[in-house]
Each structure stands twice: as structure tokens, then as C-alpha cells.
Chains A and B, each alone.
Chain A
Amino acid sequence: MIGFIKKDLAMIKSNFKLLGVLIVIYAIMGLMEKMDISFILPFMCVMIMISSFSYDNYNKWDAYSISLPNGRKNSVKSKYITTLLMTFIVSIITTILSFIISYINTQSINYEQILVTMFGTVFGTLLVLTIMYPIIYKLGVEKARIGIFLIVFGIVIIGSLLANFVDLSNILKALAFLEDYLIIILILVAIIMVYVSYKISEKIYLKKEF
């Protein structure tokens, strides 16, 4: 398994510089009290990992990887672990930077706001991952681009229809008591989402022929 993670990391290492540059830009913009781009950084990790699927596809790595010990299971596992690893490391760096920037700018640290923003960002990133990876495994990375477009489009349409026909304010009021536990709920939901997505991807990949 470690080998598969090493291979994925080796593939995306050229993107580490780009991430570093983005983190620096974020810090400078934060210090100048300009736009907050922290939400882009974890999301970039998933996008970089998705580009690794294209490289795999181009050189037919999938078929080759199956000829290696435990190739099918480890291929999927390593994609999820590498993505999570990158997302968490970048999120932790961004959070620490946010604390420092907040302190320099205001001489105080707004822990709650920074943490909620960061957890929200990581949650959104993981949501993209959990939806995209099974689609990529099912359809291949090229067709998955169309698939994800249709899904996002569908979610927006359904969301706007719901907002038109259902009064969400009552639901939000009913759920208000959960606000204190928001971060814990987000973490739990994220864990379940990623696990279910991983299991679906694994099931697809175990049966797939190349």
C-alpha cells in the first residue's frame, strides 16, 4: 500500500511548488487584508489528485497495477489516502497561517470563525472528492468530467426548486439546536461520506476490466 501512495505522491510532486506559491499569495493577501483565498487551497489538492487520474489513464497504469500484489484494492485506497493526506496538511498550514494573520492584523485571534471557515472548506472539498472519485472509477476520468457537470447542475436545479417550493426557514429553525455541535457533526458526516464513497469506488474497481 505504501508503494502506491509513494507513486501517487511522486506523480503530483511537481504541483507542490504551485501549492506553495498559492499559500504565499494567500498569506500576503491576508496580511494586506485583501481577499481571503483560503478556501481554494484544500480544493486545489483534490483537483491536483484528479489530474493524477489522467496520467494513470494515459499510460494505462490501471491494467498494469492489477498485475502487482493487491493492485486493485491498493490503487483505490492510495488515491483516497493521498488526497486526504494532502487536504489535511494544506488545511492545517492554512489554519495556522490564518491564526498568525488574524493576530498580526487585529492583535487577537478569532478562533471560532477561522475554525468554522476551515472545517467548512475541508467539508466542501471532501464532498467534491466523495462524489467525483466513484464517478471517475465508474466512467473513467474523461467521461467523469461530463458526469460531475451533470451532477452539480442537478444539485443546483433541485436546490433552487426546493427553495422555491419548500419553506426552509422552519427546517433551519428546527435544526438550530445543532449549531453548537456543528463542527462535530461536520466531522462525523465527512467521515461517513468518505468511507461510503471509498467503499463504492472499491466495489466498482474490484470488478472493472481494463
Chain B
Amino acid sequence: MNTTTVIVGSSIGGVRTAQSLRLEGYEGDIVIVGAERALPYDKPPLSKSILSGNAEESSILLLTREQAEEAKIQLLLGHAATGIDVAGSLLYLQDHEPLNFDNLVIATGASARPSPWGQRPGIHVLRSLDDCRKLRADLLKGGGLAVIGAGFIGAEAAATGRTLGLEVTVIDPLPIPMSRIFNAEIGQLFGELHRNNGVTTIFGTGVEAIEGEQGSFSVRLTNGQTVQAATVLVGIGAVPNDAWLDSSGLLVDNGVVLDEFCRAVDAPNVYGVGDVARWRHQKHGADIRIEHWTNAVEQASCVAHNITHPDSPREYTPVEYVWSDQHDWKIQVVGRVGGNADHVLIGDPELHGKFAALYTTDGVELYGAAIVNWPKALLACRHGMGSEIGVQELRDKLELLLEPQPTAAL
């Protein structure tokens, strides 16, 4: 009668799945397997407060040994999963005997895409606590920081570099890097944010090579220009940690492929959570994979429900939500933005110090929103995404919320 749920992955998705299982009254054994030796820790602060030194490493622990013991969650850390025998319900591990499972949860996350311009001391990626420690040690030596890639991680690390007093250059092949996420007009505001905070931006130019050594790199660009830097951070995205599933027979396609209940399409007792999971989002009518903290937490909750309620599983149809802290901007993104969507802008970054961009594909329905430094607008948008409110109505509401007498910021 006693069952075992094995969770592969000791980051936020894995830990929250275990905790939610207990909350749902699951009485079987729970084992969290982690490739890293470190106790489970939270990742968003690694490009912000931990990198800057404003917070202690102990503050990002997700699960202490005591909390694990109290919740009867077994931690098996320092053993990477190497494969699954689905028919035999066995999980294979590095340097450990295989584990039997009744339910398996794949939550192995994603890894930073490695530098294609060489990998040697002083050239960093940023994903794990170990990455963060190494990057911070180099940043504290001083000298310039070159960030290749102006996505969220690169932009946050660039902002942190400025708070440490470093000269920072951000390089991205797109003329308006954040247009990838927001569209050109809104994306433009983010480039200005960085320049206003002393970051040198070189956009629309790729990287040819990284020459030289730690302390005196020359980053050679495709336009012939060269950027000197003591340290280089490569922030060019992440790839799901799914290679270990190759021999399992499970369908893997840029993440493990799951149904609308987050069960592997070919093995109903195998589930997926977080960055590694590509599931059927019924409201979007597509298989999607999301690398956001809140998604991992909500998906963990859904999977825990579905493991404990096999006769009444819940479809997983979240409204996307992600945040990023860059300089003095708290950026929050709800739903889907960019793409083919038009936007209406409420507020002005210079005039009001805050703004919201509402996105719509048909001029009627709210498709998503990007909000900066404006908590009430964030709330209205998060509530709005789940309701019938149209984009015009929401715009009128936000314009009423906006201070009638703008105080000159900046």
C-alpha cells in the first residue's frame, strides 16, 4: 500500500512538489534527488542580491535538513540521475543504487547555454550557486565587465555590476534586445534604462571571439570594434536538462513532453515540473515550456494535486508571470507580451517613474501586460488576466490610477 514518489531535481520545482504533496495529504515516501551536493537553494537572487553581496547565501535556502526531516522528505543530494527504466519503474543514479518509484517527477531544470567563444577562467555563465560565487569573486577583483546577451540574466547582472562600481558593457546582436520579449517600442525603454545607469550598450552587433586571458580580455565584435574587460559573462539563454532522458523511451523535444495534466505522454506515472517540462497548455492550444520561477511553483502544486487525485486530475493552464529587477526598475510581466500583439502604454518612465504596457492581439482582449514600478497596476493586470475585462476598460482604470499631477522624476 505504501507508495514512493521520487522527484528528480532539487531546485524550486522539486522542493515545492514535495512540500505540496505533503500539503495534499500524501502519506507515501518522498525522495528528492539532486545532482548538486548543496542543500536546495533559490535561484533568482543569484543575479541580484547574492551576486551583489547584499544578501547571505543562507537566506536563499529552500529546504533545510530540519524542514526536510519534519516533512518526511528524504534528500539524496550529489547524485545525478542518469536514466529511467519506465517499464521497470527504476531511476538510475550516479554512484548510487537505482531507486524504485511508483510516481516519478522530472524537475531537472535547465542549464546556462555554454559560451561558444571558449570556456576558460574569467569567462562565466550564471545559473547555479557555484557559478554565482565564481563570478562574484572575479567581479570583486575590479576591472570592466562585459556581458554578452541582454536577456533578463545578463541585464540583471549588468545592473549588479554597476552597483559594485564596475564599468559594464552589454553586447547583444539585436538592435533592441528586449524587443525579443516586449516589441521594439517598449524594448527601447530598457536600453535607455541601462544607459541612464552608466552601462555602455553595444546593440546590433555580434561577438566574433573572446581573446586574451582573465583580467585582460578583448571581446572582438562583428563590426570590427573591440571591448576590453577583466571579466566576461555569457548570458545567451538556457537549455533544458533532458539529455539524461535519451535512453528512457520518453518523448523528449526541447524538454520532456507532457499532456495537459503534466504527465509524460507515454508514461502516466511520470510527471514533469519547471524549466524541463513541455506540457500541453489547453488555453493556448500548444505545447509550451516556461523557464520562470512562478511557473515552477504553480506546476509543482498542480502535479502534487494530480498525483494525490488520480481520478480528478487538474489541467495546468497558468497565466504566465515573471519579474526582473534591473537598476531601480521592478519589471513584471503578466500573460503573453510581444509577438504579434499591439500595445497601449499608460504612464511614462521619465514623467511618472512607472508605466504599464497592455498587450492585445485583437484590440479587445487583454493578452498580457508589462508593468514597471507600479504595484496597483500589476494587481489590476493580474486580476484582469483571469477575468473578462477588456483592454480598453483596463486602460481607463489604470489612467484613473495614474497620479493626476505628475511629479517630475529624474
Is A bound to B?
Answer: no
Q: Give me the interface of B with A, judged by CB distance under 8 Å.
A: none
